[in-house]
Structure 1
Amino acid sequence: MNNLDAERTALVTMLTTVRSTLTDTVRGLSDDQLGERPTVSELCLGGVIKHVAAVEEMWLRFAVEGPSAMSYALPDGVTWADIAAGTAREFPQWMIDHQNNFKMLPGDTLASIVERYEKVAARSEEIIADIDLSTSHPLPEAPWHEPGAAWSVRQVLLHVIVETAQHAGHADILRETIDGRKAF
């Protein structure tokens, strides 16, 4: 195995590990429990998994397509300052979708959420198997991206791993608060 194959295998293995850590937190829960918000946070377990799936899907699309895969366009007459202050007269659909990913919506079930995440994971692994990890794309313009910055596919994968691990920790706290079960 060459160094690139070893690196690719290590990245996929780590991503698979953190995904499993996250999805293990919802084993044995009801659909209603997935929507509970047992802490002062707005987070619920179902929403955490939906969010992580959406983030992974978006970043892997970025790895393939570049910045066109992420659109942060604002409605006419709305500024980032309006958005930050919560005073925008209209919010962009991408922002509404992002917020909805943190919630259990009508029709969301444990089975449907985990199935979607598994499909995203399978697609990600197909992409990772064939993509050049050094391919780089400029980040789209957004207040949270450094102006002019570019990320390689390698950086994208590391970001997805970190994001998933961070949310697996959130999920562990939520699960423990719901029924006392701990991941480890």
Structure 2
Amino acid sequence: MPGNVPPVADEREGLLAYLDQQRQAVRIAAYGLTDEQARATPTAGTLSVGGLVKHVAQTERGWVAMMLGRPYPQVDYADGFTLREDQTLDEVLADYTAVAAETAAAVAGIADLGREVPVPKGVPWFPQDVEAWSVRWVLLHLIEETARHAGHADIVREAVDGATAMPLMAAAEGWPATPWLQPWEPRVSYAE
């Protein structure tokens, strides 16, 4: 993932490219973590990097289902933010990859990004006076939602082991060390 989205040919490509960039920011926060580290909740809240990966995958899958007129998948809210002991970071990252492919296929099958997506009723945080969003709005919302959680993942990751986004990205992509940016390396601990 380069630090910037490459030039795009049109709106559809741009929306998907920016969504993918935010997905990659979430994935970068998980780079090099063990399952135990991915479950860690080192901040004042209850968020973990693994739980955030799981949450953004479930959320994106739900919004795409809504966009396609399918029922929103029901998940337990707290469980959706938790990398359980019977789950691995690799599993939730693989699911997130599958979700990205599902989203790309769904968007490719929609000719008009202005197509209406009905707003579900009875959800307290959805506007009651709006009948429909557009597919475009859903994609913009997914970019915003994913970016918000990428920021959470950055903070949680830094609290886990001090790693930050750019050195993690440099390590994940094999960038060479420079005087101003050193790729992340796992901390070595020596047992005495």
SS in 2 for 1:59: helix
Tell me how far 1:138 sits from its aligned partner: 2.2
- Is 2:125 the partner of 1:144? yes
Aligned to 1:179: 161
- Alpha carbons 2:26, 2:153 under 8 Å: kept: yes
Tell me how far 1:70 sits from its aligned partner: 3.0
Tell me how far 1:62 sits from its aligned partner: 0.7
Runs of 4+, deviation exceeding 4 Å: none
Tell me how far 1:100 sits from its aligned partner: 0.3
TM-score, normalised on structure 2?
Answer: 0.77
SS in 2 for 1:69: coil
1:168 and 1:34 map into 2 onto residues whose CA distance is: 14
- Does 34-43 or 131-140 show the bigger shift? 131-140
2:17 and 2:58 map into 1 onto residues whose CA distance is: 20
1:153 and 1:107 map into 2 onto residues whose CA distance is: 35
Aligned to 2:92: 113
2:142 and 2:85 map into 1 onto residues whose CA distance is: 27
Contiguous gaps of at least 5 residues in structure 1? 72-93
2:127 and 2:157 map into 1 onto residues whose CA distance is: 35
What RMSD in Å do the two structures reach over aligned CA positions?
Answer: 1.4
2:92 and 2:117 map into 1 onto residues whose CA distance is: 30
Tell me how far 1:99 sits from its aligned partner: 1.5
What is the aligned-residue identity percentage? 39
Contiguous gaps of at least 5 residues in structure 2? 1-8, 167-192
* Structure of greater relative contact order (alpha carbons < 8 Å, 6+ residues apart): 1
More helix by proportion, 1 or 2? 1
